[in-house]
A and B are shown apart, each in its own frame.
Chain A
Amino acid sequence: MLRSVNSSRVRKLHRAFIYKDWEKKDVFSVVGESNIRQAVNAGIVTEILYVSDCPIAFGKKTQVTTEVMEYISRGKEDALVAICKKTEIPIPDGELHRILVLDKVVYRANIGRIMNLAFSFGVDLVYYSEGDGTNYHARSIVKTSQGASLFLPAIPANLPEKLRELRTQGWYIVGTSLQDAVPLSEIPAHDKMAFVVGNEHFGVSEEVLQETDVNCRIEMENNDSLNVAIATGILLHRFRV
C-alpha cells in the first residue's frame, strides 16, 4: 500500500500526471471505471491504483490512501486511476474508407465527443493539425470519448500536405464550410472519403479549404452554424460505414 505523499514513487507519479510537459512523458492516467476497462482492453494499462476497492480484474493493482490518491490525482476525487503507457495506436489493417481531419479543433470536450462519434461511425483514423497543442491522452478527452480515443489512431499532420497526398490516393475530400457549399443530403457517398471539420470559432482554414473536393453545408434555418461535435456527428452519420 502507498501511504505517504512523500515517498519517491508517489512524487514520481504526481509529476508524471501533471499536465506540464505532457509531450515528453511516456505515461498518462485514465480515470473512471468504464474508461479503465477500455484501457485494459486496449492493453495499455501497467498498473491500477485504488483507494478501497478495485472492481476490475487486472494483474498489478496497488492500494493507496485517500491522501495519496488526491495528491496523484491533483485533488480530484478519483477512487481508481490506471497508469497507462503511451503507445502508437495501429492504423487498421486493410483498405481504409473513412478519415476525419480536425483543423485546429481546440476544446478538449469537443475533441473527445468527436473521437467517440468517429469511432462509432466507422472512421479508420483521425488527422489533426500538427503543433496545435492538444494532448490526445488528456483525461478529459479519454473520458468524453467514452474511451474511443484509446482505440482510434489520431495522428498530427501538416493538413494541406496530407490532404493533397490523400487526393492523389483517390480520397474524396469533404470540407465543412458555407463557401461554395453543397447541401449535405446532395453529396453522394464515395468509397474513400475524408471529412474536414474546423476550429470552434473560425471554422476550416482557407489553406485547408483549398484542398477539398467539395464543401458541404448542413441544411438548417435560423442559425448558420452548429456546435462542431454536433455537425461532425451529422456528417459522419450520413456517410457511416
Chain B
Amino acid sequence: MNIHSARHPKVKKWKELYAGDDRNGEYFVTDSLRMLKGAVERGLLTEFVIHEKVREYGLFEDMDRTWISEEVAAEIGMDTGYWFAVVKKPKLRIEKFERILVLDNYHETGALGTVIRSARSFGFDGILLTGDSANPWYRPVTRSGMDNQLELPILSLPFTDAIRMLREQHVLFVTVGKRKAVPVEQIPAGKRVALLLSGSDAYSPSLLAVSDIVCDPGLDCSDPTVLGEAASIIMYACRNLKGEQ
C-alpha cells in the first residue's frame, strides 16, 4: 500500500499517535524494534509504516508494509528513523497483586520506560500512573520500556482514587524521604507493598502523609532525574520473584 497525500484520512490519526497525544485510545505508535517484535509475537501489530526513501534497501521484507511519501512523513512529524508501527494496546488488568508501583506526576518519558522495565524485572504486578504523568504509550517510553508495556498492566487514574483503592487492599505504603527514613533493606519482607513516588516533588508531603514506611535509597531524590534509579533500588530491595519464593 502507498500513501502519498498528507490529506489521506489515516495520516491525521498517525500524527496524533506519533505525538503521543492520544493516551487513552486503543492504539499506540512505536519505533522500537524490540516493541515491534513483541507486538508481532502477540498479534498486536495493526500497521507497519515505512518511508519510501528507503524502499530500495529491501528492509522489513517479511512485513506487510505501508509506504509513505516525504510529504506524509513531514505531516506526521517523523523525527526519528524511517518507520513506525501502529500497535493495538493489550487489555491488561490488575487482578491481584503483591507489589505495585504508584507514580504521581511522573513526566520523564525516557525514565518512565526504564522504570516500567525495572518494575516488571523485579516482579511488580502493575503500575498506577496518577496526576499529570507521562503517557506510557508515547514512543520514547516504548523505546526505553522495551516491550514490557505489553505484559505489565499500567493504569492511569486520579491520585485519591489510587490511594483509596490500595487502602481497601490493606497494603503497606512505602515512599522515599530523608526524615525518619529507614534503609531500603528494612522494608518488611512478605507484605504487600505499594511503592509511591512523585516526579514533581520527590519528598512530596501528600505521599509522606499516606505512607507507612519512609525509606532512603541513598540518593538525592529532589532531582526527578534520579527517581528511576531510586525506584529501581527500592524495587530490587522488595522484589517478589517467583524463583526466589
Which A residues are within 8 Å of any B CB, using their own CB? 109, 113, 116-117, 120-121, 144, 146, 218-223, 226-227, 229-230, 233-234, 237, 240
State in angstroms the CA–CA spacing of A240 and B230 once bound together.
14
Output the least CB separation between A159 and chain B (Å): 24
Give the most central of A120, A221, A230, A234: most B CB within 10 Å: A230
A residues near B218, Cβ cutoff 8 Å: 120-121, 237, 240
Output the least CB separation between B220 and chain A (Å): 7
Q: A121-B218, A227-B114, A237-B218 are in contact. Are A222 and B151 (CB under 8 A)?
A: yes
B residues near A233, Cβ cutoff 8 Å: 219, 229-230, 232-233
Which size bracket describes the interface of B in this complex? 20 to 34
Which of B62-70, B96-104, B236-244 contacts the other chain?
B236-244
Chain A CB within 8 A of B228 CB:
yes
Output the least CB separation between B92 and chain A (Å): 14
Chain B contact residues, majority secondary structure? helix
A residues near B117, Cβ cutoff 8 Å: 223, 226-227
Q: Decide: A234 and B223 in contact? CB cutoff 8 A.
A: no
Q: Decide: A222 and B120 in contact? CB cutoff 8 A.
A: yes
State in angstroms the CA–CA spacing of A234 and B238 once bound together.
12
Q: A117-B219, A120-B218, A219-B241 are in contact. Are A237 and B114 (CB under 8 A)?
A: no
Q: Decide: A226 and B232 in contact? CB cutoff 8 A.
A: yes
Output the least CB separation between B71 and chain A (Å): 28
Q: A219-B244, A220-B241, A222-B148 are in contact. Are A146 and B226 (CB under 8 A)?
A: yes
State in angstroms the CA–CA spacing of A234 and B239 once bound together.
12
Which B residues are within 8 Å of any A CB, using their own CB? 110, 114, 117-118, 120-123, 144, 146, 148, 151, 184, 217-220, 223, 225-226, 228-230, 232-233, 236, 239, 241-244
Q: Decide: A120 and B121 in contact? CB cutoff 8 A.
A: no
Q: Decide: A221 and B225 in contact? CB cutoff 8 A.
A: no
Output the least CB separation between B2 and chain A (Å): 34
State in angstroms the CA–CA spacing of A121 and B226 once bound together.
13
B residues near A222, Cβ cutoff 8 Å: 120-121, 148, 151
Nearest 7 Cβ contacts at the A-B interface: A220-B121, A233-B229, A230-B232, A223-B121, A227-B114, A237-B233, A234-B236
Q: Decide: B229 and A223 in contact? CB cutoff 8 A.
A: no
Output the least CB separation between B31 and chain A (Å): 17
Output the least CB separation between A139 and chain B (Å): 15
Q: Nearest B residue to A184 by beta-carbon distance? A: B236
Q: List 23 A-B contacts (CB under 8 A).
A: A109-B110, A113-B225, A116-B219, A117-B219, A117-B229, A120-B219, A120-B220, A146-B220, A146-B223, A218-B236, A222-B121, A222-B148, A223-B148, A226-B121, A229-B229, A230-B114, A230-B232, A233-B219, A233-B232, A233-B233, A237-B184, A237-B218, A237-B233
Q: Nearest B residue to A113 by beta-carbon distance? A: B229
Q: Which residue in B146, B148, B230, B239 is a CB contact (below 8 Å) of A219?
A: B239
Q: A221-B243, A230-B118 are in contact. Are A113 and B226 (CB under 8 A)?
A: yes
Output the least CB separation between B209 and chain A (Å): 26
Q: Which residue in B120, B148, B217 is a CB contact (below 8 Å) of A237?
A: B217
State in angstroms the CA–CA spacing of A230 and B229 once bound together.
5
State in angstroms the CA–CA spacing of A109 and B226 once bound together.
12
Output the least CB separation between A187 and chain B (Å): 14
Q: 6 new A-B pairs (CB below 8 Å) besides A223-B121, A226-B121?
A: A146-B225, A220-B122, A223-B120, A223-B146, A229-B229, A230-B118
Q: Nearest A residue to B242 by beta-carbon distance? A: A221
State in angstroms the CA–CA spacing of A240 and B40 once bound together.
42
Q: Nearest A residue to B147 by beta-carbon distance? A: A223
Output the least CB separation between A240 and chain B (Å): 6
Output the least CB separation between A144 and chain B (Å): 7
State in angstroms the CA–CA spacing of A129 and B59 once bound together.
34
A residues near B114, Cβ cutoff 8 Å: 227, 230
Output the least CB separation between A176 and chain B (Å): 14
Q: Decide: A221 and B233 in contact? CB cutoff 8 A.
A: no
B residues near A117, Cβ cutoff 8 Å: 219, 229
State in angstroms the CA–CA spacing of A146 and B228 once bound together.
15
